[in-house]
Amino acid sequence: MAAAVISMTTAALDWVSVVFDAPLARAVVFGVHIDGHLVVEVLLIAVILFQLTRKSYKPPKKPLTEKEIDDLCEEWVPESLHPPITEEMKVEPPTLESAAGPHTVIDGKKVVNFASANYLGLIGNDKIIDSCVASLEKYGVGSCGPRGFYGTIDVHLDCETRIAKFMGTPDSILYSYGISTIFSVIPAFCKKGDIIVADEGVHWGVQNGLYLSRSTVVYFKHNDMTSLEGTLEKLTRGNRQAEKIRRYIVVEALYQNSGQVAPLNEIMRLKEKYRFRVILEESHSFGVLGNTGRGLAEHYGVSIEKIDIITAGMGNALATDGGFCIGSARVVDHQRLSSSGYVFSASLPPYLASAAVAAVNYLEDNPTVLTTLRSNVSLLWKGLSDIPGLTIASDPSSPLVFLKLKKPTSSSKCDLELLNKIAERALREDSVFVVSTKRSVLDKCHLPVGIRLFVSAGHTVSDIKKVSDSLRRVAALVLAEHI
């Protein structure tokens, strides 16, 4: 059919050319011979220009009446600003009525709390409270301005100096909100045209930073160094253009979505082999991993100077808020002019900076708190080793203990419903507060859902036994058909 149409069109054009060629056979204008083809082409151009310049919409000859306008307005339905709200979204989480320490109060009932990342048990610590009170009396609550516009207070500089000294880096920079640290740092360094190789299990804050950077993002399999090496090899092999652009590896030290610990020694080997930079997110490893809590570099014995950029939130181990980024002086100085979370946000309230300094001092002065934390993690592992229907997916050194289903159902939604039932019954029947993984519709992580237990140095042996016994009993009842 298409061939027939083409042949007919060609024949018609030839006929038109012949018709115009006859009278114009001897026509010459300014030394140019005028034939039928030229005439046809000029006519076609004129038609195209006419079509491009004409109005695409012709107003009605008769204007609409008021009634017609009202009818059209009533029929118009605006597009929704958000996706449909499901019943699952309407569920209200438990509300805490006291501090989120190892024990808290929910609905007037005292419960054992394994839902808060209070790793060092510093919530309610007297020294930290005293430092906050003194700071409130001296500075008030807020700073009422970004760091570059009269929002810098001496305690901010003290906090940056203290963190840099503790981590052994030349400098550090303080952010006013924990999760905004990583998704401000990534776009500050990574731009359109750059290449980022990221773990598929990174949490939403990292994902948002990758999106805002507008870089080319390639994901590798979660915590799989064979997949990472294959991805780096594919991107760089025979690609001369890749050598001229900036390239990054983005990983979490301790993954929020799985409790796994990144193998930093292998990552650094691949970084040097393929000449990539590394951005390391340490919100759940800072103050926890390593002999003295200095994070993943200390945990693996890697020189911290080899890691290009390290970020961390202070809302977990340090029991305060805000975040920081550490690195070379050039890395830090660049952010003071280019990082949106630093430049445009009001600075961290002074009392929270004071709390961070007090928490770091406490960690350095009381190294046994890490011994207690690791002992509690080991006890919980033993208590949950034979839990029916569930298995521990996290790293043995991780205080974020992640339980997932041994036999997942057909969908993550069904899996999450089962896990929610376990968490709800443990709270209702045994006064044990645990949480399942809840992900936003914006979260692109596709790792299995599970139950997260945040172990604290403030938990007692009886707390560990209570949560272990409760989860074993409730899991056996809820997952009876799935075991």
Residue 31 has pLDDT above 60, yes or no: no
Higher pLDDT, 71 or 50: 71
pLDDT tier at 78, thresholds 50, 70, 90: confident
Residue 2 has pLDDT above 70, yes or no: no
Residue 375 has pLDDT above 90, yes or no: yes
Share of the chain above pLDDT 70, in %: 89
Residue 316 has pLDDT above 80, yes or no: yes
Residue 121 has pLDDT above 60, yes or no: yes
Residue 62 has pLDDT above 70, yes or no: yes
**Span 235-258, average pLDDT:** 89
Lowest mean pLDDT across 7-16, 171-180, 240-249, 406-415: 7-16
Residue 84 has pLDDT above 60, yes or no: yes
C-alpha–C-alpha distance, residues 159 and 139, integer Å: 15
261 token code pair: 């610990």
pLDDT of residue 335: 95
118 token code pair: 């209070």
SS (H, E, C) the chain: CHHHHHHHHHHHHHHHHHHHHCCCCCCEECCEECCHHHHHHHHHHHHHHHHHHCCCCCCCCCCCCHHHHHHHHHHCCCCCCCCCCCCHHHCCCCCECCCCCCEEEECCEEEEECCCCCCCCCCCCHHHHHHHHHHHHHHCCCCCCEHHHHHCCHHHHHHHHHHHHHHCCCEEEEECCHHHHHHHHHHHHCCCCCEEEEECCCCHHHHHHHHHHCCEEEEECCCCHHHHHHHHHHHHCCCCHHHHCCEEEEEECECCCCCCECCHHHHHHHHHHHCCEEEEECCCCCCCCCCCCCCHHHHHCCCHHHCCEEEEECCCCCCCCCEEEEECHHHHHHHHHHCHHHHCCECCCHHHHHHHHHHHHHHHHCCHHHHHHHHHHHHHHHHHCCCCCEEECCCCCCCEEEEEECCCCCCHHHHHHHHHHHHHHHHHHHCEECEECCCCCCCCCCCCCCEEEECCCCCCHHHHHHHHHHHHHHHHHHCCCCC
Average pLDDT of every residue of the chain: 89
pLDDT of residue 27: 53
Residue 270 has pLDDT above 80, yes or no: yes
**Span 273-287, average pLDDT:** 96
Exposure b/e, 333-356, CB count within 10 A at least 16 = b: ebbeeebebbbebebbbbbbbbbb
Higher pLDDT, 438 or 364: 364
pLDDT tens digits for range 212-233: 999 999 999 999 999 999 999 9
pTM above 0.85, yes or no: no
Residue 60 has pLDDT above 70, yes or no: no
pLDDT of residue 37: 65
pLDDT tier at 372, thresholds 50, 70, 90: very high
C-alpha–C-alpha distance, residues 248 and 269, integer Å: 14
C-alpha–C-alpha distance, residues 164 and 160, integer Å: 6
pLDDT of residue 15: 57
Surface-to-core class of residue 313, CB atoms within 10 Å of its CB (0-12 exposed, 13-18 middle, 19+ buried):
buried
**Span 78-103, average pLDDT:** 83
C-alpha–C-alpha distance, residues 317 and 282, integer Å: 11
Share of the chain above pLDDT 90, in %: 70
Higher pLDDT, 87 or 213: 213
Residue 19 has pLDDT above 60, yes or no: no
pLDDT of residue 1: 54
pLDDT tier at 475, thresholds 50, 70, 90: very high
C-alpha–C-alpha distance, residues 296 and 290, integer Å: 6
pLDDT tens digits for range 139-189: 999 888 998 888 999 999 999 999 999 999 999 999 999 899 999 999 999
pLDDT tens digits for range 390-432: 999 999 999 999 999 999 888 888 899 999 999 999 999 999 9
**Span 425-451, average pLDDT:** 91
pLDDT of residue 55: 66
**Span 81-85, average pLDDT:** 80
**Span 326-347, average pLDDT:** 94
C-alpha–C-alpha distance, residues 295 and 88, integer Å: 37
What values do phi and psi take at 432, rounded to 5?
-120, 120
